[in-house]
Structure 1
Amino acid sequence: MSFIYPRVIKISRQPSATGGGLQPYSGMNPAAEVDLFIDLPASIQQKSTGGRPDPGLPADAANRSLWRVFMPRSVNLPPESVLRGDIVTDETGQRYMVSAPYINSLGPNLLVERLEA
């Protein structure tokens, strides 16, 4: 942690749904997530807020809020290693779903949406 990156996050992914035909609801299950990266320094900054997200699933937050997760260049995530739909969890347990991952020369920059706790 540092003054610029005071938060600690992990990035995880839900397992892929397999099988065809009629399947039970397979919503988010934090216990089944696979950790991709842990103990990453980050800065989490609110970007905007809005109305209730569609389609109003149980994991959706009561009000939509978008955040930016910045990480230092030293994190050096491989390109395409963070995908849309991956989950970012901060040190307080707050969870965010990645909407738009972007890795550039300044470091990883993720646009995320806060999920209901």
Structure 2
Amino acid sequence: MSAIHDFIDNEVKSNDVVVFMKGTPQFPQCGFSGQVVQILDYLGVDYKGINVLEDMEIRQGIKDYSNWPTIPQIYVKGEFLGGCDIVREMFQAGELQTHMQENGIAVRGAA
């Protein structure tokens, strides 16, 4: 196990929702990261953004960790949820909101 793997594992397991992204939630630096931020902000979900552009080891490490080739990557309660396309599709179908609630994460405007 590498230090990067341990760092990622700790972030994923100690935060309810984590987004490994290009840029920050305040200043996303790619369209896909921006879309994910917009969706989570719209839902009022509390999440932690980790900027992979600040550290090449994290940028590569997260791809190895999830076995998923692209950024952003969204984790909910320690489990890899997916990237931008999956999150957007789940959101549009109402599944993302349900998934969050089932995991005990507050969602704005939810019943």
Same fold (TM over 0.5): no
TM-score of the pair, normalised by structure 2: 0.23
Give the strand-richer structure, 1 or 2.
Answer: 1
Give the helix-richer structure, 1 or 2.
Answer: 2
